[in-house]
Amino acid sequence: MSAATDVYDLRGLQCPLPVLRTRKRLEGMQAGAWLWVETTDPLAVIDIPAFCAEAGHRLMSSEAAQGGGHRFLIERGG
């Protein structure tokens, strides 16, 4: 198993920027690497899981973040 060592703060950005920036960040990571994504965009709870399914990444966790927003733990696919 991998360890989640990277947190990507996308709070304050609106659709489609959280997905676009998450895609770009994951492209620079190795397969199996984990990334926490934090966002305040209400559409992210739909967009991030859909993006992961389409792109072959694994959504490990999806949870409400302290202070508002949402956190996602994504494992980069191969």
pLDDT in tens, 36-51: 999 999 999 999 999 9
Per CATH, the homologous superfamily of domain 4-75 is: TusA-like domain (3.30.110.40)
Look up residue 56 and give its DSSP letter: T
- Name the pTM for this structure: 0.92
What percentage of residues in the chain have a pLDDT greater than 90? 87
Q: Give the residue-averaged pLDDT of 15-31.
A: 97
Tokens 């934090």 sit on residue? 38
CA distances 44 to 30, 32, 56, 68, 78, Å, are 23, 22, 17, 13, 23
Q: Is the pLDDT of residue 65 over 80?
A: yes
Look up residue 69 and give its DSSP letter: S
pLDDT score recorded for residue 75: 97
Separation between Cα atoms, residue 29 and residue 13, nearest integer Å: 22
Q: Is the pLDDT of residue 2 over 70?
A: no
Q: Where in the chain are the domains?
A: 4-75
Active site members: 15
